[in-house]
Structures are given as C-alpha cells and as structure tokens.
Chain A
Amino acid sequence: MTHLELTVNGRRYREEVEPRLLLSDFLRHTLGLTGTHVGCEHGVCGACTVHVDGLATRSCLTLAVQVDGAEVETVEGLTRDGALTALQQAFHEHGALQCGFCTPGMLMAAADLLARGRPTREEIVDMLSGQICRCTGYEPIVRAIEQAAAS
C-alpha cells in the first residue's frame, strides 16, 4: 500500500492505496465521489474526465498514486457554492444531456476549455472530439458551451 495525500474539491484526504488503483476507482469507490463516470477505461470516451491541478485529465488512465500532492476537481466540485454554474445551467436549457452518463466528463472538459479564454464554435467542436455522447448528437452540447462562453 502507498500513502497518498491530496485535495479533492477543496477537501484534504489522506489514504493508503494500492499502487495499481486507478484514479477513477479511487474517486468513485474509495472517496464515494460517484459523479465521475467510467465509460471505456481506455481513454477514448472522456466520461471520466476530471481536473488535476487545473488540467482536464482522464482519471481512467491515471493511477491514484500519480496525483499525490495534487489538487483534483470533480463534477461534484462545480457546485461547491450551491447553485449550478452558468455552464451547467446552459446544459439544462439546451437539452445537452439525456442519460447524463457522459455529462460529468463533458462538463469538466468544457470547464477546462472555458478557463482558457472564450472559445470559438470550431474550438468547442474540436475539443468535443475527445468526448463521446451517444444520446444527444452533440449539437445541444455545442450550443450550451457557446452560451456559457458568452456569459
């Protein structure tokens, strides 16, 4: 077992973990943060996307021990102030989610993009090439991120 100290959504955690434990499993099963979803476990679908030190990261391709000392943000952290963020509200208004399974990863990937400045539609669509949604056909997601970018 390996000692691990990190911050998740602003809260400090100290845990003993197996070196092979995936960050996605650590978040879901050790910490109980089940908002992060696992869709493919080989880094293609993007459902497991979280922020590690501010950078969008595939938690299914990351070992928990790799984020020792890091600040991790998950979908649960977006609403730390209580209300939905402008991005989440835009998803709601545009019908940008159906089953909601890809949504946490979509939100975290989009939040990362929005943190870098105001993206164009082309940049939004390009970013979404790394996130799979099987329900919406993507257009409502693109529109939601455009709206959030404008707000």
Chain B
Amino acid sequence: MSVGTERETWVGQAVLRLEDEALLRGEGRFIDDLDPVPNAYHAAILRSPFAHARIRSIDASAALELPGVVGVLTGAEVAAMSHPFPVGVENAPASYCCASELTRYYGEPVALAVARDRYVAEDAVELISVDWEPLAAVVDAVTAAETDALVSDRSFSYGDVDTAFASADVVVADRFRFPRWSCNPLECYGVVADWTGDSLTAWANFQGPFTLHSVAAAALGLPGSKLRLITPPDSGGSFGTKAAVYTYVVLMALASKKLGVPVRWTEDRLEHLAAAGSATARVTDLAAAFAADGELLALRYDVIEDVGAYVRAPEPATLYRMHGSLSGAYRVRNVAVRNRVVVTNRPPTSLNRGFGGPQMYFALERTMEIAAGRLGIDPAELRRRNLVRDFPHRTPSGGLYDSGDYEACLDDALELARYEERRAEQAAAREEGRLVGIGVACVVEPSISNMGYITLAQTSDERTAQLPKSGNAEGATIAINPIGGVTVRISTTPQGQGHRTAAAQVAADALGVAPEQIDVLTDVDTSTSAWTVASGNYSSRFSGVGAGAVHKAATKLATKLRAIAAPQLGAEPDEVELRDGKAWANDESVSLRRLAGAAHWNPDSLPRGVEPGLHETAFDAAPNLEPPDADDRVASSAAHGFLADVAVVEVERDTGAVRVLEYVTVHDAGRLLNPLLVEGQVRGGFAHGAGVALFERIVHDDEGNLLTGTFMDYLCPTAPDLPPLTMGHRETPSPFTTLGSKGLGEGTTMSAPVAIANAVADALGVQALEVPLTPGRVWELLR
C-alpha cells in the first residue's frame, strides 16, 4: 500500500505545469492585480537623496493642499507609532520602516503621501520639502570594520587549525571580494494594508510568513493573531528578495492606521534598484593549508560582511547560513572562521538566491584553483582527492551531509565537458594566441535551513539565556469536498518554482488520482493556513519539508479513505488500494466521490471510530537540526545536494569581453520530484550565477550615491548573453527528508560565479580578479 512500490508514481515525472494556463492567458493574479478591499488609496514614498544625512525638518503643508491627497505620514510619526524591528545582534542601530531624524542610505523612506491614485501621490511627494544636513558616508566595509560600525565580531575554531597550518607543505592565502547584487524579480514589491479597530489585514507578495511575520507584528506592537497577512495566488519571482517586503507592510499599515483608509503601494523598479533587499557584499581573507600530495589540511576564514545601514532580520543570517558547510565539499577537519558584521551607508541586505553560498564558495573555490597551480596538481584532480566520500558526513563546524556520490558527479561533469580534450584544445588555442580558460567548481548546496543557526551570532552563554531555536517545519492541508474534489493548501509561497504542480503530484500518488484533478492553493493566509515560523519560500526547502508536509497530509487522508472504503469492499483497511479515482479491494471498487459523499452526507454510515469530514492537516519537520551546541557547532541545514561544474571561456584581447563557450553542471539533489521543474531551477539558478559572474552588481560611489539606478546601469543578462548549458543529474535520495528529495534552486547561483571566474583567471594567467568580470575590468587585467 505504500506509494511507489508497485505502480509508477506521479512523483519523478516531468508533469507539465498546472500553473501555466492562467499565466499564459494573462489571467494570473498578482498583488497589483487585486482589489482585496474596496477604495484603497495609493501611497508614494519620499526617499532620501543622501546616503547619510540629518533631517532638520519636514514640511508637508503644500502636499496636503493638493486635491486628491488624503494625508502624509512622516518618519517622526512612524517612530512614535511603532517599535524598532527586533534584531539578532546587540549593537546594531535601531531600525524602523522609515527614517525620522537620521537617514542612513540613499533611497531610505523618510515620508509617504497617500492619494486617490499613484500619479497624485507622486505629485504630493514632490511637494514635501525636507531640510537636509548631509553627513559623511561610510561605504567601504573594511574601513567600517575599524569603527563602531562593527556590530558583531565572533570567532570560531574547529579541530586544531594552528597545528595544521604549522605542518603544511603549501599555504595559499588571498583576499576575495564578492559584490552586492540583487536577483531583481521582474515583479517588484506590493502591499495593500487595511487597519481596522485593533488589527491589521495586509496583502503582500511577501514570501513568508517565516520568522518575519513575528518581526512585523513586534514593530507594530500587535500580537501575531492581530496581524493577518495574506499572499496573492501568484508572485512574480522573488529569489529571496521579497522577504524584505515586511518593512513596507509595517509602513503601509501605519499609514492606514493614521489616515483611516486602506492604503496600497506598488514599488517601481527605480525604488527596487535603490532600496530593496539585496545580497550582502563580502570581503573574505581565506588561508588554506595543504600537504604536498594535495590533502587539504585546514581552512582559516576572516570575513567582513556588509549588511548595509541596518541589521534587518533575518540578517546576519547570510553569514551563518553556510556555517555547517565552511569545509565545502571536502574532508578537511580543521576550520576556523572570524565573522565580522559591519553596517555601512548602503541599503539593508536581505535574502537573495544562494544566500551566503556565492560569497563563501567564491573564496573557497578560487582558493582550490589557486592551490592547484601552486601544488602542480590539476584543479579537478586536487578537488577529487579531497571530496567527501562517506555519508552521513559530519563537518568540523557541525554540518551533517546526508548523502551523495561527489566523485561520481565530478566524473560526470568532466566527461560531459570533455575535460581532457578541452585541456588539449586550450593548449592549442594558446599557441594561436587565443585566451581560452577552463574553470572548475565543486559545491555542496545546503537546503532546509535550521532555524537555530542564526543564534550563532550570539555566544553560547547568551544563547542559554534564551529559548533554544532549532528545526525547520512546514504544514499543509488537504480536503475532499462533498462531490469528490481534492484541494491542497500549502504555505510555501511559491514565486515561480511550480510548487502547485509538484504538490499535486505528491498528493496524487497518495490518493490514487491524477495531478490535474487536484487544486492546489498557494495563497497563504496567516489566520487560516497551516504554518510555522519556518513557513515560506527560502533555503530551497519546498522539495524537502514542503512536499513532505503534503505527502503526510495526503497519507492521513488516504488512510481515512481506506478505513471508510474497507467495509464497503469487504476488506481490511490495509488491503484497500487507491488508484484511478477509486478505492479497490477484492477486485471490487468504490469511487472517491462516493466515499466523499459518505463522509459528508451520511456520517452515520461511517465505520466506528472514523470521524466525519475529509480534511487533514499535517506538518513535516526535518530531523537532525538541533540548536547550536556549547562548542558552536551547528547542523545548519537538513539536506545537502552536490554540484560539479566546468566552465570554458574565451577572452577577447581587444575588448576584454568574456565569452562562455560552454558550461556544464552536474547535480545530485536526491530524488527529483519533477525533472521539468528541476531543469527550470537549474537554468534559472545558472542565469543568476552567470549574471553576477559577468554583469550584475549594485554600485554606490564613495559618498553612497547610487550609480546603478536603472536597468540600463544594472545589467540583467538577456538571451544572447547566456551560454549554452549542459546539465547532468544523479539521484542519491536523502535519508533525512520524507520523500528523499533535496533543494536545488540555489546551487548554480553558488557555483557559476566562481567557476566562470576560475576559467577567466585560467585564460588570463592572473590570480586577483573580482566579479562581475565586465569588459572594463578584464581589459585592465589584460594590460
């Protein structure tokens, strides 16, 4: 009776997406398409034109006289009406959704105007006059680390790092910078806030509720039950970015509360580029100790993380997300890290695809490539000698790698890339004076975050004074209506990944119906959905606990259906099989519709002990995610996929342009729920990774002024910019997730920046380089 043992399952098939039809017809329902409450007024935000300035005074009188304007909300009122956002480190500056006396980044909200439409609201914003006193700005993280802008400084050491370095034959050390960039989903932020009585209802294309529902409620001084947060059915991409919508939920809530009307706001692209959540910029000094045979003996990281003007929850999580994976894909037993968090006069950072992975692997995998050159060992071979081989594998910093065959994946990647031939071709190309390079990266991709890892920003003593945090759980609900229709409701707030389709496949297997017969609701309502503080869309958690919760809820419902069907079929419940929309036993069948009818219309007919109704909720939790221990070890994620990538590039001498000739990526993400969705995630993750390798970064000048304020300056790759991508897969099921599946949406975003950088370094014969490898930068390296 268990799923998948006797018949083909829907899980694993490339089922075409159930989401597509409405989206292709222009019938998607995104936040700006909704009028969830009548007569909402439109907000426009006045933003700081300085990276650091004192606000001497604000005069909104002219704005208030404009016809169509309902009112204005200033930062001073925000400060009086709300509390600072709770934050995970102690020395951070107090952070509100709007600046009052001091503005700390270009684009920071300082006031907003509410009017009958957006056009009038923007007119009103132009009529608000501010008396500014510009102040000196700090934009360089290394400089900031020497001042009181250093808000967290923690050091960790696992194994015996000093002894390992002392015994090393070769030590490689360098500084690696990773830029601030943003996934820039094509749909920007959107909020509709309706404050009535003592409670708030807010619609937002948020990707929570996550821990951030609690953060928003705390800022508003509301118990969680009084903050009803609802997400729309469709969301136009996020990649983490939309976690930061919560600050605007608070801002619009306060405007609604003050003015007594529902308030809506849709962010425009200029606002998004200026002030939305982005990835952290990171400076990493990494030293690696090797034996002469290539054995990696020890790693010593010294990291400075620029989180922008405020430490906004869940930061400084970017710094700790990879903590259990500081050793990467390697068996190394001695690892030390110093983590410093600094605030600068740049916008606060947030979730962004890869979340700490691109930053960490850029340092680690550049180091492996540099070390290979120093040791005289082929870069792929050096990695092979150090790859983790036995599972489960406990890393020095506490990570627990669940499963995999890393060496086989690397072999696959080298074969698909024709690595040996490519090396020969490269040598021939060099003879002709062409600059061809090959780069490798091996990456462990964590998924399903331990909600407790962020407490590593505190000391062990500080942690023991608080409620321990651990685990990662998700809920799902499934119901069958009186005429047999199946509805699943999930709380993973998909933003393009196809959760609706995958959830339908999982439920279809349990209930013996086809996926297209199942409706999956993805809009989350914190008053009615099954959710926990972990719920939402981040750390590639859907295929693990999201799908797991659907499986568990559907299995509960299937068990009940068997119990109802059994007496009708003259069988025991465990002899009943659900397939083709019917319950079967003894070659007899009864339809799902009829069983549903009994449960709803005729509860008197149900077997003893079976409750009426067909409505089940279940939660799935990933195991092994304990709170950090007294020695600061943490299993920071539940599942770990693996990628081996090979990039081949050619650099144009005359222009510095980098052309990626081929890119190969081989993944092992456990059991694949739907290969079509998998391909989409790998391609999309690669596009973001290649984007930051070659084009994308957010630039501020020395005074903190934004230089990448439009899509003409912040370059998203378009179709001609991306190289051909060759994908390979292995499937080593995870023993730790309910369906054996692992996350895979972030891996190539972690690997591609460094694989391409390694290839360019190889082509140019240089060691020091930074991404994005724009033609200007590469041309400088060529000189």
- Using CB atoms and an 8 Å cutoff, list the residues of chain A in contact with chain B: 18, 20-21, 25, 28, 33-42, 44-45, 47, 74-76, 78-79, 84, 88, 91-93, 95, 97-104, 107, 124-126, 128-142
Contact = CB atoms under 8 A, between A and B. Distances in A.
B683 A99 contact: no
A91 B17 contact: no
Contact of A128 (B234, B498, B688, B719): B719
A93 B118 CA distance: 38
Contacts of B677: 95
A130 B269 CA distance: 17
A91 B185 contact: no
Given A36-B26, A137-B725, A20 B21 contact: no
B718 A131 contact: yes
Contact of B187 (A28, A39, A88, A131): A39
A132 B185 contact: no
Given A20-B119, A44-B711, A129-B720, A37 B187 contact: yes
Contacts of B186: 37, 39, 45, 47, 99, 101-102, 132-134
Interface stretch (B135-143, B235-243, B307-315): B235-243
B687 A137 contact: yes
B33 A34 contact: yes
Minimum-distance CB pairs A-B, first 9:
A35-B26, A99-B496, A101-B236, A100-B23, A137-B683, A98-B496, A128-B719, A75-B26, A44-B711
29 contacts: A28-B32, A34-B33, A36-B26, A38-B32, A39-B187, A41-B268, A42-B270, A42-B711, A42-B712, A44-B712, A97-B24, A98-B498, A98-B684, A99-B235, A99-B495, A99-B496, A101-B185, A101-B186, A102-B186, A103-B24, A128-B718, A128-B720, A129-B720, A133-B186, A134-B237, A134-B687, A136-B684, A140-B679, A140-B680
A98 B676 CA distance: 11
B710 to A, nearest CB: 6
A134 B239 contact: yes
Given A91-B24, A97-B23, A141-B719, A135 B676 contact: no
Contacts of A136: 680, 683-684, 687
Contacts of B688: 134
Given A128-B718, A138-B687, A99 B33 contact: no
Contact of B725 (A99, A131, A134, A139): A139
B684 A101 contact: no
Interface in B189-238: 234-237
Contacts of B236: 37, 39, 99-101
Contacts of A138: 687, 718-719, 722
A135 B25 contact: no
Contact of B17 (A47, A95, A131): A95
Contact of A95 (B25, B32, B676, B724): B676
Given A18-B119, A98-B498, A99-B237, A35 B25 contact: yes
B20 interface: yes
Interface in B679-735: 679-680, 683-684, 686-688, 710-712, 716, 718-720, 722, 724-725
A91 B20 contact: yes
Contacts of B270: 41-42
A135 B684 contact: yes
Contacts of B183: 134
A74 B26 CA distance: 9
Given A128-B718, A132-B718, A92 B21 contact: yes
Contacts of B19: 100
A92 B684 contact: no
Name the residue among A36, A130, A139, A142 with the largest chain B CB count within 10 angstroms: A139
Contacts of B100: none
Interface in B719-755: 719-720, 722, 724-725
Contacts of B711: 40, 42, 44-45, 132
B309 to A, nearest CB: 25
Given A98-B496, A133-B186, A42 B269 contact: yes
Contacts of B33: 28, 34
Given A74-B26, A84-B24, A134 B680 contact: no
Contacts of A141: 719
Contact of B237 (A25, A76, A135): A135
Interface string B616-657: 000000000000000000000000000000000000000000
A92 B17 CA distance: 7
Contacts of B722: 137-139
B526 interface: no
Contact of A126 (B118, B185, B720): B720
Contacts of B187: 37, 39, 99, 101
Nearest to B684: A135
A91 B26 CA distance: 13
A74 B187 CA distance: 18
Contacts of B684: 98, 134-137
Nearest to A21: B119
B716 A134 contact: yes
B779 interface: no
A99 B234 contact: yes
Contacts of A20: 119
Nearest to B235: A99
B334 to A, nearest CB: 38
A79 B25 contact: yes
B680 A95 contact: yes
Contacts of B26: 33-36, 74-76, 78, 104
Contact of B680 (A78, A98, A104, A126): A98
Contacts of A38: 32
B302 to A, nearest CB: 33
A39 B17 CA distance: 23
Contacts of B710: 40, 42, 44
B321 to A, nearest CB: 21
Given A98-B684, A99-B237, A101-B237, A39 B269 contact: yes
A50 to B, nearest CB: 11
B555 interface: no
B132 interface: no
Nearest to B716: A132
Nearest to B678: A95
A92 B18 CA distance: 9
A142 B722 CA distance: 12
Contacts of A39: 186-188, 236, 269
B30 interface: yes
A78 B24 CA distance: 9
B447 interface: no
B27 interface: yes
Contact of A84 (B25, B188, B496, B724): B25
Interface string B483-506: 000000000000111100000000
B720 A125 contact: yes
Contacts of B256: none
